[in-house]
Amino acid sequence: MNRRAFIAIVCGNMLAVPLAADPQQAGTAKRQIGFLGNADAAAAAGALEAFRQGLRDLGWVERQTITIEYRWAKGRLDRLQTLVDELVRLKSDVIVVSGVQAVRAAHEATKTIPIVVAALLIDPVSGGFVSSLAHPGGNITGLASQYEDIVTKQVQLLTETVPGLSRLVMLHHDPGGTESTAPYAVSAAQKIGLKAQILEVKEATEIERVFRSARDWHAQAVHVLPSPFFNANRRLLVNVAERYRLPALYEFSEYVQDGGLMSYGADLPVMFRRAASYVDRILKGAKPSDLPIERPTKYELVINLKTAKALGLTIPQSLLVRADEIIQ
């Protein structure tokens, strides 16, 4: 056999034998996750990275074994329905959302695509999203807490921080439904003996005005009630609170890292990391109806001492020893 004939036979045999299949190509196309954010990528950086890391730990690597379609409301919660509808049209295998408004939008958009809730501060049962925490029964599962469980503690923390606190303003963004946290917050303040006034904020341009109203009412502190809208505009909130020299308590530690005085609530990155485990199980065949909804097992207190000093506040030692994180 001459050299040319030998090469021809070898090449023919190589073409006849199928190449070893890439694991992704051997099965279906990359699985697609739809991610609906209430703010933007910069504001959600901590939670987003925790979610991605959670996926990586479980073997799901973006652009390798999965694709993630991001949609950002950028604080315009009225856009959530349009954005989640886009993710449904893209035939996402699972959609990740957080906040009452986003969950409601997803609930209305699809009854078949699995929905994983990364953070929800109302009872999903009373909200009409699931049948029960142990057996959700539909296409929604994930993590949820009940705000009434922690709001009294939040108000008490303010009374410990601000000497002689008697007049408290609560900033509220109306979610446009029946799931408002405002009644729980007002009730908690009244039980402690505080005069509480709710100030509604509909647009970011109104934040300056409501702080001015709080000052005119002689408020001694501000409680920013939980809302994806506020979280999307947290740097503006923190800056205005500083300018009006009003001590403020917020929902998540991200506010304090951005210069806010203090926060008490669930650890948002931890919740998003846990949400990745729900996505993992669903992509591997689990039904959301069979995955129990988790409740946060720990709430964290974070205090910014630099901000306290700027406000002329001395944080009691009894509070400092209970803090999970102190920012100097």
Q: What is the CATH number of the domain that holds 108?
A: 3.40.50.2300
The pLDDT mean for the chain works out to 90
**Is 118:97 a contact under the CB 8 Å cutoff?**
yes
184-205 per-position pLDDT tens digit: 899 999 999 999 999 999 999 9
Same structural domain, 314 and 202: yes
Q: Are residues 120 and 245 in the same domain?
A: no
Residue 308 lies in a domain: yes
Q: What percent of the chain has pLDDT over 90?
A: 80
Average of per-residue pLDDT across 95-110: 95
Task: Name the residue with higher pLDDT: 237 or 3.
Answer: 237
Q: How confident is the model at residue 124 (pLDDT cuts 50, 70, 90)?
A: very high
Q: Does any domain span residue 169?
A: yes
% of the chain surpassing 70 pLDDT: 90
Residue entry with tokens 């329905």: 81
pLDDT of residue 19: 37
The pLDDT tens digits of the residues spanning 247-296 come to 999 999 999 999 999 999 999 999 999 999 999 999 999 999 999 999 98
Contact 17, 225 (CB under 8 A): no
Which pLDDT value is given to residue 180? Answer: 77
- Mark whether 242 and 104 lie in a shared domain: no
Query: Do 307 and 186 lie in a common domain?
Result: yes
Lowest-pLDDT choice from 6-20, 27-41, 149-163, 205-219: 6-20
pLDDT above 50 for 11: no
pLDDT higher than threshold 90 for residue 98: yes
28-32, 153-157, 259-263: the lowest-pLDDT one: 28-32
Q: Print the SS3 string covering 130-183.
A: CCCCCCCCCCEEEECCCHHHCHHHHHHHHHHHCCCCCEEEEEECCCCCCCCCHH
pLDDT band at residue 14 under the 50/70/90 scheme? very low
Residues sharing a CB contact under 8 Å with residue 203, sequence separation 6 or more, in sequence order: none
Same domain, 173 and 67: no
Provide the pLDDT confidence category of residue 176 given band limits of 50, 70 and 90.
low
Based on the fold, state whether residues 86 and 200 are members of the same structural domain.
Answer: no
Q: Does residue 181 sit in the same domain as residue 323?
A: yes
CA 21 to chain CA mean position, Å: 39
Q: Name the residue with tokens 């949820």.
A: 144
In this prediction, residue 44 has a pLDDT band, given cuts at 50, 70 and 90, of: very high
Q: Which of 53-57, 178-182, 280-284 has the lowest mean pLDDT?
A: 178-182
Q: Residue 12: its pLDDT value, please?
A: 44
Establish how many alpha carbons lie within 13 A of residue 50's alpha carbon, considering only the half-sphere containing its beta carbon.
14
Residues 134 and 158 in one domain: no
**Same domain (yes/no): 237, 313:** yes
- How confident is the model at residue 250, as a pLDDT? 97
Q: Is residue 14 part of a domain?
A: no
In the numeric block, the tokens 């703010």 are attached to 39
Judge whether residue 6 has pLDDT over 70: no
| 106: Cβ contacts below 8 Å, ≥ 6 apart | 36, 84, 95, 97, 115, 140
Q: What pLDDT sits at residue 10?
A: 39
Contacts of 233 by beta carbon, 8 Å cutoff, 6+ apart: 75, 204, 207
What pLDDT shows up at residue 175?
63
State residue 23's pLDDT score. Answer: 37
In a domain, 139, yes or no: yes
Nearest to 65 by CA among 284, 285, 288, 287: 284
Residues 77 and 221 in one domain: no
Range 121-139 average pLDDT: 94
Domain count, the chain: 2
Task: Based on the fold, state whether residues 288 and 142 are members of the same structural domain.
Answer: yes
Query: Is residue 64 one of the residues assigned to a domain?
Result: yes
Q: Are residues 137 and 277 in the same domain?
A: yes
Domain annotation covers residue 221: yes
Residue 10 within a domain:
no
Residue 5 in any domain: the answer is no
- This prediction has a pTM of 0.85
Instruction: Compute the average pLDDT of residues 39-47.
Output: 92
Range of the domain at 163: 147-266+300-327
8 Å CB contact between 38 and 78: no
* Gap between the Cα atoms of 327 and 103, Å rounded: 33
